[in-house]
Structure 1
Amino acid sequence: MKEFSVRQYETKDYAVWNAFIEEAKNATFLFHRDFMEYHNDRFTDYSLLVFKEGKLVGLLPANTSGNEIHSHQGLTYGGLVYKENLKLAAVIAVFSEVLRFLHENGFPKLHCKTIPGIYHQKPAEELLYALFLAEAKLTRRDSLAVIDMNKGFSISKGRMEGVNKGAKKNLTIKETTDFEAFWQHILLPNLDKKHKAKPVHSLEEIQLLHSRFPKNIRQFNVYSGQEIVAGATVFESSQVAHMQYISAGENKNELGSLDFLFHHLLCAVFEKKLFFDFGISNENQGKKLNNGLSFWKESFGAGTMVQDFYEVTTSNFHLLETIIL
């Protein structure tokens, strides 16, 4: 008899899923069903639950795309979610059963995006080892600009010049629950002009998510008089302040608006957070680096961490069955 069993998520699992997320050592509010399902019209959910003797021991937030399975494509990170009491050998066995389940249900590939270590409550890289054992292929690597707030940071002279400009221009910073001004006057016009793109979240979606997670999704705007000139949307988890959106008007260099804002966020708002995550500066699936954006983030004292993406053949579950000595 197999030690672990796997089945697909059902609506009846809503409460038990969310309760597990609250206690997992490598989960954030993004894995709560109220976050995952805000865009369920765009993704066909195929999340999995793993049990041992009837007790839930692991989750895989996921969706289907054709005949392949992805760590949920509507989330920034993913992979297996588990509690501290699930040890390395057990995680390997759980992942083997997940792969077996997917293989037996006609899915030849699993595309797995990892959770950067800064989001772990405790060390939780067991899945990375299991992916290695399953001969997973690294398909993408993004670079995150991160500040370890406990180690301190040094803001460059150039950034401080911008901070001082903002002070001299009498800029003001306000936290607000109104996302519309930033979306309509700053974020949408900038993305359209520079990239012919739209933000991942529409205004209506970010408003909905904020209503569900008011303590985790925060908006900070910069004003010159009554005019909004810059802003940042922050996804805050227990350990990390993650900059989901950063944008400013064309006069940002003249005003120093972004430098002024981020000095405030680092030194006054999130100074007690463990990590400050500026996010990625990559394009083209991690193969291009926006050097100007990366340099700006590094000028605040950020260093580089990576997030890896893997492709694993589900029939390789058998590789994990004989590795325990």
Structure 2
Amino acid sequence: MQITLYTPQFKDQWDQCVRESHSGCFLHERDFMEYHAHRFEDHSLMFFDNDTLVACFPAHIIDNNLKSHRGLTYGGFFASAKANLFSDFLQELIDYSKNQGFDRLDLKLPPQYYNPNFNAEWSVLKNNSFETSQESVDLVVDLTQEWQPSPKKTIGYRNGKFEKLKLIKDVHLKDFWSDLLEPQLMARHQARPVHSIEEIELLQKLFPDQILQYGVEVDDMLVAGITLFDFGNILKVQYAAANKQGFEHNAMDFLYLEIIKEAKEQKKEFVDLGTVNHPDGSVNEGLKRFKQQLGATTTSVFELTLSL
């Protein structure tokens, strides 16, 4: 097996390998990765068996550590569905990293339900002395099981409170960013979205069927919104925000419930509501409870490290 450093001439092969993999999605295609290429020193790797690309490994370098991948929801190996060689890929990667003189190898794993081979790959990683460096709590609605949101969330359907709310699809990203998302993040956390409005608009142009924007209106005014990443069998909530009027009308409850109902109708298997950890790693219990009342259950998301 041969490891080759990614260069743009391999873009089409890289993207095809990601699309054929078990757990890759549009996040790992080069058009998505390269919108923020200026933020990372890219060191993505390709694994060839003879002349056939069998696996991709999105990665970058920070402080002489090889990481997969801080700029993406998750990283790791994305192998052709025909290539069941995880232990071989991992050993090749470890040997390569040592030969390159890296100090550490860091892996940001997907939630377990993203990867059908998670348990087997986890065992291989642990057998190769990878240690857990971070564990986050993710909330997911499993639509392969009976979905049971709390009556506290669905009461708006019964008491008429939701009747004033109108679900809007294809909301302009700029309206959501400027009117709801940026003001809420700044007021609550003194923070900005990971993506600027220019970046998310560019990404939606590149991936119009995968980056979706929904909203809720009251009297023709946008009061809540949600940005979704569609991974096929998984729908991921990327951003959600509301204004004062939206919270008064329980618009976020309505919006989440409608999104999950639509995902169920579309035969999706999971709705990923995201992690609930504060920056210091502690759990935001209020946010966790809110998502559990929507019918979500908890799962762990791991970052692993190997000292070389």
Whole-Å separation in 2 of the counterparts to 1:236 and 1:165: 31
Structure 1 vs Structure 2: percent identity of aligned residues? Answer: 30
Partner residue of 1:104 out of 84, 99, 105 = 99
Q: CA shift at 1:99, angstroms?
A: 1.2
Contact 1:165 1:255 in 2 (8 A): no
Structure 2 matches for 1:105-254, cutoff 5 A?
Answer: 105-120=100-115, 122-163=116-157, 164=159, 166-168=161-163, 170-176=164-170, 178-254=172-248
Q: CA shift at 1:234, angstroms?
A: 0.4
2:7 matched to which residue of 1? 10
Q: CA shift at 1:166, angstroms?
A: 4.2
2:75 matched to which residue of 1? 78
> TM-score with structure 2 length normalisation?
0.95
AA at the equivalent of 1:111: D
Whole-Å separation in 2 of the counterparts to 1:247 and 1:58: 37
Whole-Å separation in 1 of the counterparts to 2:112 and 2:82: 18
Name the CA shift for 1:15/1:172 in 2 (closer, same or farther; >3 Å).
Answer: same
Q: Per the alignment, in what secondary structure is the counterpart of residue 39 of structure 2?
A: coil
Residues 91-111 of structure 1, C-alpha deviation per residue, up to 9 Å, x if partnerless? Answer: 112111111111111112011
Whole-Å separation in 1 of the counterparts to 2:160 and 2:225: 17
Partner residue of 2:29 out of 28, 32, 37 = 32
Q: CA shift at 1:283, angstroms?
A: 1.7
AA at the equivalent of 1:205: E
1:283 matched to which residue of 2? 278
Whole-Å separation in 1 of the counterparts to 2:27 and 2:44: 14
Whole-Å separation in 1 of the counterparts to 2:5 and 2:307: 19
Contact 2:235 2:263 in 1 (8 A): no
Whole-Å separation in 1 of the counterparts to 2:256 and 2:89: 42
Whole-Å separation in 1 of the counterparts to 2:149 and 2:124: 39
Moved more, 42-51 or 249-258: 249-258
Whole-Å separation in 1 of the counterparts to 2:242 and 2:160: 15
Please report the RMSD computed on the Cα atoms of aligned residues, expressed in angstroms: 1.5
Name the CA shift for 1:270/1:234 in 2 (closer, same or farther; >3 Å).
Answer: farther
Runs of 5+ unmatched residues, structure 1:
315-325
Moved more, 157-166 or 58-67: 157-166
Runs of 5+ unmatched residues, structure 2:
none
Q: CA shift at 1:57, angstroms?
A: 1.5
Residues matched between the structures, number = 306
